[in-house]
Structures are given as C-alpha cells and as structure tokens.
Structure 1
C-alpha cells in the first residue's frame, strides 16, 4: 500500500514519506512509499509481509494478504473480475466486532479512483472474501461458472451438507442418490424440455448413427425422484414418503450473469420431495418451513421476506387452471396459519406450480431465493404415480418439493457475506488454534491439539516459527477460539482462551476447554461461549 502523493508527513532522508509511528529512515514495518496513492485513499501504514514488486511503489500485501498497491500488475481472469486483496482495515483490525460475524455499521467512504463504495460493501462481497480466505476460486481453463473448492471452503461445504443430512434424518427423510444424466425423454415427460429447455445444456448423442439415444445433464432432481417413487408399489400407510438428496444439477447460464458462487453452471442442490396424500400437504409444507427456520437460526441467517410465487402471463407455465387454484390455496393456507408475513408476486412460480420462496438479501440489498417449498400436482400425473388407499383403490399422491438451503453454492456465498468470513464456530474451517508462546510450550500445545481432534474439533497448532504471538493472533483473527499456552499455563495444565469477539476468559483446565467448545459446536450454537 502506498502513501498518498499529497501526504504532508515529513519525507525521510531517502525520499520516502515517513510514518509518524516509525523511526526516521523507515516506517514501522521497515518499508517506504515513494509515490502514488493507496487503493483506498488512506494515509496509514498497513501490516503484513512483503513488498510490491511492481516497481517503486511501496509495500503491497495484495498478492496473498490484506491489500494491494494500485500498480500491482497481477490480474485474475475470472468471473469476479477482481484481483484478491479486498480485505480492508475493518476486517483486519476489528475481527468479531459483532459476534459471530464481522459485519458492523461502518459507512466511511473509500475511494478507488473512480469508484466509491462503503467499507462494509467492499468487505462483504463473497467473491473477494472467498478468494482472500482461501475458500474457492475459478480458472478460465476449467470454465466460467464452474468454481472449485479449496480445502477450507470444502470444509465449510462438507460441514453444511452434513448438518442438512442430519436434520433431514431427524425429520424422517430417507436419502437417495440418482445420476446427473437422464434420457431426453425423461425431461420431455416431466415438462422440463418444453418449459425449461433454454436453461438446459444441449443433448449429447450416444452414437453417430441417426436416431441415436440422447442424454441430457439434468436441470433438476424432481424427475429422477418421481421415477424412484414409481419403481416400487406404495401403500397409504407409507405416506408421507420423504425422499432427500444432495445432488448435482446443471444450468446453461449465459456468461454475462455468472458471478462467484451465486450464479454457476454446476450446482449442488439440497433437494427433497415428499409424496403424500392431499390431507397431508399442509402439515408437510408447514414442517418444511419449520426446518428452514431452525436451519437459519443455526446458520445466523435472517430472511429478508417470504414470497408466495404465483404464475404470471405467458406460456411458460403448465396450462391447468384447476391445478393452480388448488395448489395456490394450499400454500396460502400454510402461510396464513404460520403467521409469517408474506407477499404474493406474479411471474415467479415454477412452471408446474406455485411456491413459497424464502428471500435473503446481500449487503447491497439485492435479493435472491435461498429456500423454497412447492406444491406439485403436475408431475405425479405425468409419471402416473400411485399409492393404494385404505379402500384398496389406486390414488394419486401429491408431490411437495422442499429445499432447506437451496444450492450449496448460493448458501455458502450468502454465509460468507453475512458473517464476513467469521462463520459460526460449528461451521468454521478451523475452530480452535493453539498458540504456544515459545518452543518450551510446544509439547503441551501439541497434546491439546490432539485432544481437540479426538473430540472431533478442527484444531491447528500455530507455533512460534510462524512469528510473534501478536502476529499469530492477527493471522487467526477469524478463528472462533484461540488457546494461548504460556509457561504458567503449561505448568498448571491450563489454557488461556481468547474468543474471536475480543473476550479473554480466565484460564481453564486443558481438559475442560475443549469439552465446552465441543458442546457448543455439537449444539450448532451461534454463541461463542456459554457462561456457566
């Protein structure tokens, strides 16, 4: 980062601009700025290693750290359109300002030459934060809209998926796996081909001869689950039959709308379908809304609004007025009974039925749909789904579509922005970092890490070889728990815990601290500490 060219601070004998915090001949961090402005128009030194290699413009920490010089030549050719290095002063100097995340009301304008924004908006863009924190990235060789997950991001994703699977098991769902490909006839039968083909990838022909079989990357999991239900006979005693899958699907998005994790071409969808009688629909839809509420509470997500999505004008919807009337009445009743405020919006329904959409908003106020509950009379009819009723006759089930977090990609993107990278402790890539003050405390620190790992915690050791204690604490500023082990703690068999929100706890026994952290993690709590 460079000092502004108009800075009035005294020049050193070397011609650079000297910080009032540092000695003559160098800034506090031993580097000098000779020209230019920093990226944010500020006039302050920036902590971090390394100098800019882009000529003579002072220290730059943007290649892997918190900021970058505006003259840095490195550019990333990806859908984010930005070089990493957007974590700004708010994120560095005040981690955990409002636990469990880092978001707070900071609106001091920052200047980037021709672009003005707020610090909060800049720090909450998941495309920048995700790369800065080593969660995900993209590469032109793989393709736009096809992000790959780095180890920390994969940890967040896996933990989120396991939370959802566990919540579904507890709610009586049975999990299945289905292929990401299907014959074109499958989607013609479901109605996707006639109503949704513009968003699907073109068919792949299996063979060169005319009339060869065509397969398609699936745009939805619904047809596969309908076929799985149809593959066995069912009695009314089995209903509701709740079928869930975290599976891949694909959308042929135009390159202009792709961005980060929110709009991608390869999607991992948290999807479920409930096959039930007409009398069971309302209770199943209400139960799905309750699952969504509990998940949002554990994830620290606040919905922006609930939307009843209805059909609009045009031919993209199934032409069955009576079906639409019945399904709309069912969802309206569910919303009214739940007491949730909602608004009805035309033109947002699925092609086969209305839906309840749970909307979330990013830092700029842009809304997106994260969770959904839908009632579908169309696909059970298309696939001729049946169950044997108490009268011995064959009856048609109703299909309730339900997604707690929607696509995993969009959910993680929202979590990154919602928490500024400071995830709830149970979701954090690293939950505890152990900080021995010197080499002498390494053995008890290593024993503490092993104890935490045995308890299922994600714990790491940050030894003195990684810098001073202060530098290691700053490096681990997003980790929920920092365990400092000094000579006194090592002798007493204790550990001094520092919480991400700035609190420092009294030293605890080395066995008690991991156990209490583990209890909070197992409860999926958003609180960092439970006072006893």
Structure 2
C-alpha cells in the first residue's frame, strides 16, 4: 500500500511468530509455563512529521516475550513480569512516572469478546492490587485483543510514553488454535501473557541518555575506563593496560598525547566513570593515578588493585564509583 508517497508492506508483529513456534509441536501441562523471549525487529509506518530522535522511529528493536501458561498460572506470571520490570528499572536508574491499567474505550477497534475482556481485566486488576503499586485506569489505551498494564515514563520535555507492558491475551491462543494436553488427557487452551521489560531498546536508550545526562552508571557506560598516558613514552604501558581490561571484560579506550594536552583529554572524557593517568613514575611501578567522574583523584596504586576493584563494582551493578576512597 502507499503511505506518504512511499510503498510499505504489512508485516506481522512478533506475537504471531511465537504462537506459530508454540503450535509447531504438542505440549503437556507439565511444560507450562513455556516462555519465549527475543530481541526482535519491528517496523512502523510513521510519517516523517512525527518522527523524533530515538523516541519515535520507524525501525525498532523490541525486547519482547510471550508466556504460554494455564489459567491458574497467569497471575503469578504477570506478577513476576512486574517484578522483573522493577528490577530492570532499579538497575538502569529509571524512575516510572505511573502505572496504567489500559482498558478499551468508546469508538476503538477491539476484538468482540466481552467475556474474555472481563476475565483479562479482572486478572490484571488483581495483579496490580496485590502488588501494592499505585495505578490509574485509562480507557482507550488497550491493545486490540485485550487490556494491559503499561509502565509510563516522562522525558525532559514532560512528554509521557509507555516503556514496559504486561498483557493477558485469551484471543490469540484461540486464533492460532493453540492447546496443551492437561492432566486429564484432554486438550486445553493456554493463555498468552505478553511481557516487555524495557520495550523498545531505542526508546529506552533515549530515556537513559536524558535521565543520566550521558553520565551512565559505570556498568552501563559505553566506555568504562579511559587510559591517559602523559607522553608517548607511556603508550606501551597504556596498551598493556587496555589489553588487561579487555581480558577482564572491561570497556577501555586509550586517549594518547596525539589528542591534545592532558587537561584537554581529561575534559573530553569527563563522562567516563574512570580515568587512569599513567606518567613516568606510574609506568615504572606498574601503577595508575585514578580520576573518578565525580571529581575525586586517588593516589597512584597498583594497576591490579585498580582493576580488581573496578571489576567488582561493575560486576555488582553498583552505583558507587569507588567506595571508601580517599581524596
């Protein structure tokens, strides 16, 4: 079809793909809940006038999962999804604006199955009530096949958007004729729980950039350690340190003298959590003088000690840059 002067082709979302995978073989009730997750490509025919940075794009990578379970398992799976979202937000430093129970509204196009809508709504309402989270019901925000829990975030301009969702779906298992063999030997219809922990990776990254102002937690920072040799003489030591970082799984870069004065390089790397300065004395002793992003400067110390502590803090997803450090 033509849209905005361009030709586009319809493509199904990730949900039917997972339903077809489930349907490819028979399943016993003992296998349930059966969870499928992927980071999958999605595309939207957004007009150019509504596109904006990473928040509103045409091609997105969606953090998506679908759980096929029995009716008795739905509440536990939905509750577990909410807990995963909470943990992810805590680790990433994201603060949700509000939780929304998204319901159908007048004039919308929804699956005509009143009984399924009532069951889904009752299940999600119970999950939210049990979680103790404050939430608001909003008409007209449901998916076409069922209600959902939306986790809303707000950007620096005050614009609200949905980042994470939990949905209960009775419709698609029926449309794809999904079933499992129950303890009674008969066929039963599973329930499909849609779970997106951070939603669109692009939107999540855009929100993180704004929230942290580019100064990401050390474990998340694209470059975790920048190595600053004072002169060309220390470049071999800097290269050796970079190799040690690579072996430890640390993301390190060398900013050599060819990139300007030491002061200029320090300013350029001001958002990097750790800066390791190597001068003649440090090179001779296999030491590094560490500068932290928060402005602290540490006395030169053995590189092995520096890497051990940084690795531990990053491995624990700690928000601390250098606990118990002296200025």
TM-score w.r.t. length of structure 1: 0.59
Moved more, 277-286 or 497-506: 497-506
1:271 is aligned to 64
Residues 265-308 of structure 1: CA deviation (Å, up to 9, x unaligned): 11111100000001100110111111111111111111111111
Gapped regions of structure 2 (runs ≥ 5): none
Residues 87-119 of structure 1: CA deviation (Å, up to 9, x unaligned): xxxxxxxxxxxxxxxxxxxxxxxxxxxxxxxxx
Match of 2:127, SS state, is: helix
1:203 Cα deviation from its structure 2 partner:
6.7
Q: Which residue of the other structure, out of 204, 210, 226, is the alignment partner of 1:417?
A: 210
1:231 Cα deviation from its structure 2 partner:
0.8
Query: Residue 299 of structure 1 contacts residue 526 of structure 1 at CA under 8 Å; is this kept in 2?
Result: no
1:202 Cα deviation from its structure 2 partner:
6.7
Query: Residue 263 of structure 1 contacts residue 410 of structure 1 at CA under 8 Å; is this kept in 2?
Result: yes
Match of 2:172, SS state, is: helix
Distance 1:444 1:467 in 2: 19
Post-superposition, which runs of at least 4 consecutive aligned residues in structure 1 deviate over 3 A? Answer: 201-204
Instruction: Count matched residues.
Output: 324
1:321 is aligned to 114
1:515 Cα deviation from its structure 2 partner:
2.0
1:217 aligns with 2:11: yes
Residues 127-159 of structure 1: CA deviation (Å, up to 9, x unaligned): xxxxxxxxxxxxxxxxxxxxxxxxxxxxxxxxx
Larger relative helix fraction: 2
**Aligned residue runs from structure 1 range 26-105, under 5 A:** none
1:476 is aligned to 269
1:345 is aligned to 138
Query: Residue 300 of structure 1 contacts residue 526 of structure 1 at CA under 8 Å; is this kept in 2?
Result: no
TM-score w.r.t. length of structure 2: 0.94
CA RMSD of aligned residues (A): 2.0
1:508 Cα deviation from its structure 2 partner:
2.4
Larger relative strand fraction: 2
**Aligned residue runs from structure 1 range 157-196, under 5 A:** none
1:330 is aligned to 123
Distance 1:202 1:271 in 2: 27
1:319 Cα deviation from its structure 2 partner:
1.2
1:285 aligns with 2:78: yes
1:364 aligns with 2:153: no
1:492 Cα deviation from its structure 2 partner:
2.5
1:307 is aligned to 100
Residues 474-508 of structure 1: CA deviation (Å, up to 9, x unaligned): 11111111001122322322111111111222322
Query: Residue 449 of structure 1 contacts residue 459 of structure 1 at CA under 8 Å; is this kept in 2?
Result: yes
Greater RCO (Cα-Cα under 8 Å, separation 6 or more): 2
Match of 2:52, SS state, is: coil
Query: Residue 261 of structure 1 contacts residue 413 of structure 1 at CA under 8 Å; is this kept in 2?
Result: yes
